[in-house]
Amino acid sequence: MANKRRFGDQNYVKIKKTCVKKGQLFVDTLFPPTNASLFLEQGRSSDIVWKRPAELHNDPHLFVEGASPNDVTQGILGNCWFVSACSALTHNQHLLNRVIPDAEAQEWDPKNEYAVCGLKT
């Protein structure tokens, strides 16, 4: 992926190499798949289950035939601000490309689940 930017002390190349070597998918320690990443209140419980793309669909894609405002829907999580921001990004391809650089390179590859290793860069 072009122009990989560090987030905190995370290094994409090192993280990917470690994931591939260990045969493990990436779990972000700064944004773990727990309630603490979703809620400000400590100890809040919910019925939310974190899943990877392949657990939701046998052929997942980041985008199908481009992106439009109707592609995003709010679920049970109270995140209308986030859904609105995602919808607004679809109106400006340049901004969308800055938020999700190299979207095609981040597409799911069922033959190589470590191709992106679940990283968002």
Which residues are catalytic, by number?
A: 80
- What six digits make up the tokens of 1? 């992926």
DSSP string, 30-79: SS-SSGGGT-SSTT---------HHHH-SS--S-SSS--GGG----SSS-
What pLDDT, on the 0 to 100 scale, is given for residue 4?
61
Distances (CA, A) of 9 to 27, 30, 83: 15, 10, 28
Q: What is the pTM of this model?
A: 0.62
pLDDT tens sequence across 52-61: 888 888 888 8
pLDDT tens sequence across 52-100: 888 888 888 888 888 888 888 887 777 888 889 989 999 998 998 888 8
Q: Residue 44 in 3-state DSSP?
A: coil
